[in-house]
Amino acid sequence: MSLLKRLDEDIKAAMKRSESIRLSALRMAKAAIKNVQIDKGRELSDEEIYSVLASMVKQRRESIEQFSRGGREELADKERQELAVLQSYMPAQLSPDDIETMILQAIEESSARSEADMGRVMKLLMPKMRGIADGKWVNNRVKELLSAAGRSA
């Protein structure tokens, strides 16, 4: 079953069970996918749908951070619930050890020596990790590893 069909079926199920948070998150996802389809003028592949969902996951994480900082825990909790719904449609996330291995391979492959070379490393990593690793976490870890390499060089 395609991802879009699965979303449609799950929207119907959420409506029948009166799951308001799940229904809201799924409808927002469906609307975002529809907007991208209209922009591109064609149906999206599952890979493209994952990309749309990944950007929605990123937005939810940023919102949770902002709401928590602002003392708006009720809004942060709602975002966390929506995030959980969206993440259930994403491919399984890589483990920190797998991410670390991929980062070290990319550093070696790009011959990066310091933080100044970070762009080259990220350019190699992100196409491989899109949707299966948190880009912000990867970015921070690359920065840590390159700054450590720069100090030891």
User: pLDDT tens digit string along 39-49?
Assistant: 999 998 888 88
> Which residues does 94 contact at the CB level (< 8 Å), separation at least 6?
102, 129, 132, 133
Q: What is the CA radius of gyration of the chain?
A: 18
Cα separation, 127 vs 124, whole angstroms: 7
pLDDT score, position 112? 82
Q: Is the pLDDT confidence value at 153 over 70?
A: no
pLDDT score, position 68? 94
Q: Does domain 96-152 sit in CATH 1.10.10.10? A: no
By the 10 Å C-beta count (0-12 exposed, 13-18 middle, 19+ buried), 103 is classed as: buried
CATH 1.10.1510.10 residue spans of the chain: 3-87
CATH superfamily of 3-87: Uncharacterised protein YqeY/AIM41, N-terminal domain (1.10.1510.10)
- Structure confidence by residue, pLDDT tens digits, 98-111: 888 988 888 888 88
CATH 1.10.10.410 residue spans of the chain: 96-152
pLDDT score, position 34? 95
pLDDT score, position 12? 96
pLDDT score, position 5? 92
- Structure confidence by residue, pLDDT tens digits, 126-137: 888 877 777 788
Output the pTM of the full model. Answer: 0.69
pLDDT score, position 45? 87
- Structure confidence by residue, pLDDT tens digits, 50-63: 889 988 998 999 99
Cα separation, 2 vs 35, whole angstroms: 18
